[in-house]
Amino acid sequence: MSYLNITEVESAVTSLAASYPGSAQLITLPEPSVEGRTSHALQIGRPSRIPKDAVMLIGGVHAREWGSCEILVHFAADLLEAFRTGTGLGYGSTTITAQQVQDLLLRLDLVVLPLVNPDGRLYSQTVDPMWRKNRNPANSGGSSNPDCIGVDLNRNYDFLFDFTTAFAPTATPQVSTSPCDQQVYEGPSAFSEPETRNVRWLLDHYPGTRWFVDVHSYSQDMLYNWGDDENQSGDPDMNFRNTSYDGKRGLPGDTAYAEYIPKDDVDSALELATAFCRGVQGVRGTAYTPLTGFHLYPTSGTSDDYVFSRHFVDPAQGKVLGFTVEWGKEFHPAWAEMERIVLDVDAGLVEFCLATA
C-alpha cells in the first residue's frame, strides 16, 4: 500500500457509494476544477423522513498534505462496513460499540469530501511534492513564473478576506495578496476558486450541517473557532462585522480587540475538540492539543471560520461550529507511519461525531 493518487481517491468514493447503497449516496459537486476534474462527496447515514443534523468533513485542500484523503476514505469505509455488519470499531484502546455505530448513522448524516483540490494533489504527487495551492493560472495573474500559479484554497473563503484592512498593521496573519507567494496567496476575491465554491455549495445543499471538520497537516492539534484573534464572550459588539475595529485585529495579549463567541459555543467547541483528542490518544497514546485557530497562528479566509461566521452574517443560516484537524508531524510520513496516523485520526473523528450528541 501507499498514498492514493487522485484517480484512486475518486474510485474509492464512487465504490463506497455503490457498495453501500442503503447508507451511502454519491454527491457530484457542481463545478469542475480548473483542469476539468469533477469531484465527488459521500452522504453517509440511514435515510430518514425527518431531516437530520449533519457533520461535514473535507480534506485534500492543501495539495502536499497527502494523508488527509486517506484519513477520510478510511473513516467512511470503516463506518459503512461496521453499520452494515452490525459490528463495532476498534482503534487500539479506542473502541466504538456496534450500538454506537448504529445510533450514530441513525442520528446523523455525515457528508464526506475527501479531495477538494485534485489538480493540486496531482501536481504535488508528480512534479513538486511541496506544492500547496490549486493550479489556477488565471486568478494568479497568468504569470509565466510557475510559482505564481494557484491560490491557497484555505485563504479563499469569505471571512475577513480584506485582511489588510481588518488586521492591525503589526499583526502577522498567515495570508498574502501576492500571486507569487507560493504558500498563502488568498486569490483575487473570496470564492474566486471553483474548489471553494464547491464547499460552499455543499453547505448550502446540506442546511442541516451543524459541525464542520477540515482535515489538514501538520502539528497534532484540533483547532476550533476563531482564527483571527483571541476569543471573548463578554462584548457581542466586538466582532468581525464591526468595521470600527478594523486595523485592530490579530494581536495576541492586547486589549484592543478579541473576537466574540457566545459562551455556549466556545464550551461546545472545546468539548468536541477534547473528545477528538481523547479518541486519538486512545489508539497508541499520541497526544493532540485542542486550541483555537488563532493560537496556532492568526488567519483570515479559512474554511472553519467561514462556516461559523455564516449564521452571524445571515441569521437564517444554521449555526455551524468549525474545526480543523492538524494531523501528524510532517506532510509525507513514511506509509507505515501514515497508516497508524489514519487509525489515530479516524478514532478521533468517530469520537468527535459521537460527542455531538
Average confidence score pLDDT of the chain: 96
Rounded to 5 degrees, φ, ψ at 325 are -80, 135
Does residue 229 contact residue 246 with C-beta atoms inside 8 Å? no
Pairing between β-strand 209-217 and β-strand 321-327 as defined by DSSP bridges: parallel
CA distances from 319 to 11, 199, 300, 322 (A): 33, 16, 19, 10
Chain centre to alpha carbon of residue 37: 20
- Give CA–CA dist 188/37, Å, rounded: 22
Does residue 1 fall inside a structural domain?
Answer: no
- How far is Cα 60 from Cα 115, in angstroms, rounded to an integer? 4
Residues 6+ apart with CB under 8 A from 242: none
Evaluate whether residue 335 is within a structural domain: yes
Residue 324 counted as domain residue: yes
Would 102 be classed as within a structural domain?
A: yes
Which pLDDT belongs to residue 281? 98
Within-domain flag for 160: yes
End-to-end CA distance of the chain: 35
Given the DSSP bridges, would you call strands 53-59 and 108-113 parallel, antiparallel or unpaired? parallel
From residue 138, how far is each of 122, 143, 187, 274 by CA, in Å? Answer: 19, 8, 10, 41
* Torsion, Cα of 249, 250, 254, 256 (10° steps): 0
Residue 172 · residue 309 · CB < 8 Å: no
Is the distance from CB of 13 to CB of 42 less than 8 angstroms? yes
Q: Of 313, 155, 311, 173, give the one whose Cα is nearest residue 249.
A: 173
How many structural domains compose the chain?
1
- Note whether residue 66 is domain-resident: yes
pTM of the model: 0.97
Which cell numbers in the block locate residue 202?
A: 455543499
* DSSP H or E segment with residue 280: helix 263-284
- Residue 54 maps to a domain: yes
Tens digits of residue pLDDT in 312-345: 999 999 999 999 999 999 999 999 999 999 999 9
Band of pLDDT at residue 142, cut at 50, 70 and 90 = low
Under 8 Å between Cβ of 257 and 240: no
Helix 98-107 with 335-355: angle, nearest 10 deg: 70
pLDDT in tens, 198-231: 999 999 999 999 999 999 999 999 999 999 999 9
Q: Judge whether residue 289 has pLDDT over 90.
A: yes
Strands (DSSP E) contained in the chain are: 24-28, 40-44, 53-59, 89-91, 94-96, 108-113, 209-217, 221-224, 231-232, 259-260, 289-292, 321-327
Res. 143 pLDDT band, cuts 50 70 90? low
Q: Does 120 fall in a domain?
A: yes
Mean pLDDT over 234-238 rounds to 98
> What CATH number corresponds to the domain at position 291?
3.40.630.10
pLDDT attached to residue 255: 94
The amino acid sitting at 231 is: N
Q: Are 326 and 340 in contact (CB under 8 A)?
A: no
Q: What is the pLDDT of residues 156-177, one digit of tens each?
A: 999 999 999 999 999 999 999 9
Q: How many Å is the Cα radius of gyration of the chain?
A: 19
pLDDT in tens, 23-41: 999 999 999 999 999 999 9
- Angle at which helix 6-19 crosses helix 67-85, to 10 degrees, equals 10
pLDDT in the model for residue 141: 61
Grid cell at residue 21? 447503497
Closest by CA position to 27, among listed 206, 215, 214? 206
Range of the domain at 343: 6-355
Q: What is the pLDDT of residues 71-119, one digit of tens each?
A: 999 999 999 999 999 999 999 999 999 999 999 999 999 999 999 999 9
